[in-house]
Structure 1
Amino acid sequence: MVVSIGFEGSANKLGIGIVKDGQVLANPRHTYITPPGEGFEPRKTAQHHRSHVLAVLDKALKEANISGNDIDVVCYTRGPGMAAPLVTVALVARTVAQLWDKPLIGVNHCIAHIEMGRLVTGAQNPIVLYVSGGNTQVIAYSNDKYRIFGETLDIAVGNCLDRFARVLKLSNDPSPGYNIEQLAKNGHKFVHLPYVVKGMDLSFSGLLSFIEKRAIQWLENGEYSAEDLCYSLQETIFSMLVETTERAMALMESQEVLIVGGVACNLRLQQMMAIMAEERGAKVFATDDRYCIDNGAMVAHTGAIMFQSGHRTQWMDTGCTQRFRTDEVLVTWRRPSEDSSVQ
């Protein structure tokens, strides 16, 4: 039995989760929300995390009804992410580990999303579509690592949505992507936008530039509504994601697809993926916003299974990195029989 605590703060979500053998005991979160039309700066995001981290930690311990003595391992997000927020939360995790005299595990943020998705949904060996504000990757487990079969060549899909939300001056509460999703439900006129898929990789920057330059003029002359633009943007970029995911499923002969990351909460993306999967006789797995949005429980759970499989982070290596690739981590906790390449 392992009780783990996980600290997540790679972007504007500050989360601390406590997990006991795969059971989530607590998972409070506090989000830094900026005014409409503005993104979140690393420095101010780090200030937010510093201001709230002790209160969130206290809330997590009270919800789980445990103390530091009951914790077996302290886990934190090592990367990827924004430097200042990452370092701020890692400092708290290191301090807590020393105060409680507990081992410390640095966790890859992307893999934490994957493992939490597998835990919550029960997906066994899926093709993973990881879509968030900072990452867009198509992933499969093979030869003791999570291999990246395709990814964005420039900006992430979540960043694309967030930046267009700023053009429309949409609220950042609860998130720009969520508010785009709501507007898109009432869109009717489809705008043809650049569709850029290059093999297994995707590009969103040209598409974003195209719609950014024309959006205000379209809105002012009444040619398209904000709802039409959000609808068209979603349909285009989600089609690109479904295409590359289906290609990976065909390559790996997989009958499961798991969508993780903040954008995975989008019900239209889940619906489009389900249509594709049904045509292939496959299944789609996704979680709700408790676990698809950045949270501490995913870090706690992943750190725990890493710890149980023999992973240890030496004290001199308990730093952070903005560029921590998904395929850099040796996956020691999965069985060889789960390897897609040997099925």
Structure 2
Amino acid sequence: MIALGIEGTAWSLSVGVVDEENVIVLENDPYIPKEGGIHPREASQHHSEKLPSLLSRVFEKVDKNSIDIVAFSQGPGMGPCLRVVATAARLLAVKLKKPLVGVNHCLAHVEVGRWKTGAKNPVSLYVSGGNSQVIARRGKRYRVFGETLDIGIGNALDKLARHMGLRHPGGPKIEELAKKGKNYHFMPYVVKGMDFSFSGMVTAAQKLYDSGVAREDVAFSFQETAFAMLTEVTERALAYLDLDEVLLVGGVAANRRLQEMLRKMCEDRGAKFYVPPRELVGDNGAMIAYTGLLMYRHGYQTPIEKSYVRPDFRIEDVEVNWD
């Protein structure tokens, strides 16, 4: 079977086509604001304008009649962006006379990670702009064992980058600055049980920068503290759940320093560490397509009248009927 997936929960706009073994096509056209952060209205306008040409590029490489399933990111995400994607997916499904499958965005990150790494039953650390969660499966549902109490780590990195005058996306720029940092400065380390918080760290980092501390050292200090927090809660989940695999997913999973810290922790515990290929860690249409395919094979289908967007869609809301 072949599935087409449309992803557009925030600034990324992506269409992917997959079969049960490979990514066949992946085309991206992200919204990059000229300044500041992501404005939902402007991002949705970008998606509305760019999605037709993005689909045309995909259908230049794949015969549209070969598509068996149309999947789309139903949530969580920015409402205006989700509505553009859902409308396009409905139209495509009706036009091609194919089944429609609404996919939980967070679930898609985990499942594409399992698919491409071979992880069986991992503790997943999901780190992106809008979400930061420690996830593991229990029975027929994935459960969130710890999460941010305020903003996602990706959002925190972007806020710090903007304060330093760096354009979106800020995460990769902070990572490059941190590589040149040499002096660690104190940052609030906020872990409460299995949950964590980043907003106070952002404020502290901004004050350090404003006081004249080199931005390389600010970036270094911020990363070391934030990633130590994430590593701590992931290790605690491993111990509590008695598991031996860690899967790192989400856009911030591309950060080499976070990978290094988690890999070292796993080595110390005798656990296996996995991270998907770089092109599949951020938001992408292939993960939506694959998860939609997986869901359809196990009896899921979304009627048009129930294909409304779900901006607050939680991963726990999905019953998982596959291994």
Unpaired stretches in structure 1, ≥5 consecutive residues = 335-343
Q: Is 1:35 equivalent to 2:57 in the alignment?
A: no
1:137 and 2:133 matched? yes
Q: Residue 191 of structure 1 aligns with which residue?
A: 185
- In 1, Cα distance between equivalents of 2:119 and 2:54: 30
The answer to whether structure 1 residue 311 and structure 2 residue 309 are counterparts is no
SS at match of 1:180: helix
Q: Name the structure 2 match of 1:203.
A: 197
Which residues in structure 2 correspond to 1:1-343 (within 5 Å)?
A: 2-36=1-35, 38-63=36-61, 65-67=62-64, 69-172=65-168, 175-217=169-211, 219=212, 224-334=213-323
Structure 1 range deviating more: 14-23 or 235-244: 14-23
Alpha-carbon distance between aligned partners in 2 of 1:283 and 1:230, rounded to the nearest angstrom:
29
Which residue identity lines up with residue 4 of structure 1 in the other structure?
Answer: A
DSSP 3-state at the match of 2:134? strand
Q: Distance in 2 between matches of 1:113 and 1:61?
A: 24
Gap runs ≥5 in structure 2: none
Alignment deviations for residues 305-336 of structure 1 (CA, whole Å, 9 cap, x no partner)? 000000111221101011000111000122xx
Q: Counterparts of 1:170 and 1:277 in 2: how far apart (Å)?
A: 33
Within 2, Cα distance between the matches of 1:183 and 1:201? 27
Q: 1:60-118: CA deviations, max 9, x gaps?
A: 2223x322x21111000000001111101111011101111111000000000001111
- Is contact 2:156-2:202 (8 Å) kept? yes
Please tell me whether the aligned partners of residues 76 and 299 of structure 1 are also in contact (alpha carbons under 8 angstroms). yes
Cα distance in 2 for residues equivalent to 1:294 and 1:287: 12
TM-score, normalised to structure 2, is 0.98
Say if 1:265 and 1:287, in contact at 8 Å, map to a contact too.
no
Counterpart residue identity of residue 254, structure 2: C
TM-score (normalizing by structure 1): 0.92
User: 1:211 Cα shift?
Assistant: 1.9
CA RMSD in angstroms comes to 1.0
How far 1:44 sits from its partner (Å)? 0.3
Q: In the TM superposition, what is the alpha-carbon distance from 1:171 to its structure 2 partner?
A: 2.6
Q: Retained in 1: the 8 A contact 2:116–2:277? A: no
Q: Distance in 1 between matches of 2:67 and 2:153?
A: 36
Find runs of 4+ consecutive structure 1 residues off by over 4 angstroms. none
Q: Matched residues in 1 for 2:230 and 2:148: separation?
A: 10
1:20 shift after superposition: 1.1
C-alpha separation between the residues in 2 aligned to 1:240 and 1:90?
36
Q: Encode CA deviations 1:113-168: one digit per residue, 9 max, x unaligned.
A: 00111111111111000000000100001110011100011111111001000000
How many residues align? The count is 323
Mapped contact 1:22–1:301 kept (Cα < 8 A): no
Structure-2 separation of matches of 1:227 and 1:157? 18
Q: Could you tell me how far 1:252 is from its partner in structure 2?
A: 1.2
Q: Secondary structure at the match of 2:13?
A: strand
Q: Is residue 26–residue 61 contact of structure 1 (8 Å, CA) maintained in 2?
A: no
Structure 1 counterpart of 2:188, one-letter code: P
